[in-house]
Amino acid sequence: MEAAFRFYAGLNDFLPPARRGRSFRHVFDLPASVKDMIESLGVPHTEIELILANGEPVDFAYLVQDGDRVAVYPPFTSIDLGPVLRVRPDLPDGEPRFVLDTHLGRLASYLRMLGFDALYRNDYPDPELARISSEEGRVLLTRDRGLLKRSVVVHGYCLRTTNSRAQLVEVLRRYNLAGQVRPFRRCIRCNGLLDPVDKAAIADELPPRTAQYYDEFRRCRSCGQVYWKGNHTAWMEQFIASVLDEVG
């Protein structure tokens, strides 16, 4: 048996060059779910928004038959498909929350700098990452396609580049987050929220020159780390401005 598959837009990133941007034949012995067949071709299910079989929308459980024509689409940014057509449920209300795999520490820091909830540890095993993503409704960010193919993972994104700044741009564009950036409200070290703290309450924790030249401070609710607007703040503000300018 055989079916014709066509993948659109960014989903072609996961295909070999000969299959990109065109319809191609896929030969199989027995009917299988369209989810399993798509993932066997290299595309994680978390990257998919809409599947059409012979022009009709289907879900991941659809069994591909001999002669089927299957079109697979990534998330749309300007078209509201409605809940009937989507193969993925919507993200929980509010801004997205993330969990990042062990190779994305710098991206986690960047997301926290911009104010986003980004859970990260450098020793999370893959099953734990998948569990956290599923149980806490977090978007799993990774470059590991196999991790995103785990059935319990509902929301995830496969980063296309190894450059941390470019990864940040990818995530902001993918989830339309430019308007939700709230810099310097999270602890870059542990992801906790920051609260203003009186200088007198932390005076014995400050380096002498910091105590002399700065008066506004914030402390992390979770780990107690103290922050102030030092010389590095100007670089961080410039970095954030350049990223948002690129995101558009």
Quote the pLDDT of residue 79.
58
Residue 175 and residue 109 share a domain? yes
Q: What band does 208 get if pLDDT is binned at 50, 70 and 90?
A: confident
Candidates 246, 77, 76; CA nearest to 169 is 246
Report if residue 122 sits inside a domain.
yes
pLDDT > 60? residue 186:
yes
CA distances (Å), origin 41, targets 7, 11, 52, 114: 10, 11, 16, 35
Report if residue 144 sits inside a domain.
yes
Residue 204 and residue 168 share a domain? no
- The total of structural domains in the chain comes to 3
Tell me what the mean pLDDT of segment 125-154 comes to. Answer: 96
- Domain span holding position 11: 2-73
Residue 166 and residue 144 share a domain? yes
Q: Is 42 left (phi over 0), alpha (psi -120 to 50) or beta?
A: left
Tens digit of each residue's pLDDT (9 = 90 or more) over 67-101: 999 999 998 765 555 655 778 778 877 789 999 99
Angle at CA of residue 89, ends 88 and 91, nearest 5° = 115
Question: 29 burial class (0-12, 13-18, 19+ CB within 10 angstroms)?
Answer: exposed
Residue 201 and residue 173 share a domain? no
Tell me what the mean pLDDT of segment 182-187 comes to. Answer: 96
Residue 103 and residue 165 share a domain? yes
The encoded tokens of residue 186 equal 């999270």
Across the chain, what does the average pLDDT equal?
93
Report if residue 169 sits inside a domain.
yes
Tens digit of each residue's pLDDT (9 = 90 or more) over 163-179: 999 999 999 999 999 99
The encoded tokens of residue 241 equal 């401005």
Higher pLDDT pick, 108 / 212: 108
Residue 27 and residue 64 share a domain? yes
CA distances (Å), origin 9, targets 13, 21, 72, 117, 179: 8, 8, 9, 28, 24
Residue 114 and residue 170 share a domain? yes
**197: Cβ–Cβ under 8 A, 6 or more apart, which residues?**
217, 218, 219, 226
Distance separating alpha carbons of residues 87 and 30, to the nearest angstrom: 23
